[in-house]
Amino acid sequence: MHSLLEQTESPLSLFPVLVVEDQPVSRLRLVKTLVKAGYEVVAVENGRQALDAMEKRYFPLVLTDWMMPEMDGLDLCRWVRGRPNQGYVFVVLLTARDNKSDMIEGLEAGADDYLIKPFIAGELFARLKTGRRFLEQERSLKLACEAIRNLSKSDPLTGCYNRGYLNERLPQEIQRARRFGHCLSLAICDIDHFKRVNDTYGHPVGDQVLIAFVKWLQGSIRNQVDWLARYGGEEFVMILPETDLAGAACMAQRLLKIVSGRDVQVGAERIRITASMGVTGFGPHTAEALISPENLIRQADQSLYLSKMQGRNRVSVKPLEAVGREDLPD
Question: Is the separation of the CB atoms in 185 and 281 below 8 Å?
Answer: yes
Instruction: Give CA–CA dist 135/138, Å, rounded.
Output: 5
CA-based nearest residue to 170, from 306, 298, 259, 314: 298
Instruction: Give CA–CA dist 314/60, Å, rounded.
Output: 55
Measured CA to CA in angstroms, residue 243 lies from 171, 225, 226, 237, 256 at distances of 16, 10, 9, 15, 18
CA-based nearest residue to 91, from 114, 119, 121: 114
Instruction: Give CA–CA dist 170/267, Å, rounded.
Output: 38
Tally of residues, the chain: 330
Q: Which residues are the active-site residues?
A: 234
CA-based nearest residue to 40, from 17, 61, 56: 17
Task: Cite the beta strand spans of 124-273 per DSSP E.
Answer: 184-191, 227-232, 235-241, 263-266, 269-272
Q: Which amino acid is at 254?
A: R
